[in-house]
Amino acid sequence: MSAAAPVPADWPGKRLGLPEAGPRSIGRFGRRLGALVLDWGLSYLISFAFFRPDPDGFATLGIFGVLQVVFLLVANGSIGHLVFGLRLVPVNPGYLGWWRPFVRTILVMLFIPAVIYDRDHRGLHDKIASTILVRR
């Protein structure tokens, strides 16, 4: 008897009906990391301008959260997402809603849910909020 042939590798997002590359494909790690670094950098600069001695970093974290929620609600992506060609969409087509950006942002701020992800490159924060970060 022969062993079963290995299953061919699928691309991230195939199970969700998304293309392998181009618009609406899953945002890959490099773009996500670049967007996060840009968003955190902007938050740090704003925090430094208004709260110079911020030894615990809570002002920076709060500014990061506010920027995330506002830009996700208004533009379907944070400043970093938009610069790196990403946008946030709900899993089921339709309106992103007001609650998804709040839930997603709180979970990103906790950090651990953002680093636990599946084979579709969706972090736990995206799974809980029923969202996908895709290329524009």
Phi, psi values for residue 13, rounded to 5°:
100, -10
Instruction: List Cβ neighbours of 38 (8 Å cut-off, separation of 6 or more).
Output: 79, 80, 83, 84
Q: What pLDDT digit, counting tens, does each position of 101-113 carry?
A: 999 999 999 998 8
User: pLDDT per residue over 49-88, tens digit each?
Assistant: 998 877 788 999 999 999 999 999 999 999 999 999 999 9
Least confident of 1-5, 19-23, 113-117: 1-5
41 vs 57, which has greater pLDDT?
A: 41
**pTM value > 0.85:** yes
Sign of CA dihedral 87, 89, 59, 31: negative
Band of pLDDT at residue 8, cut at 50, 70 and 90: low
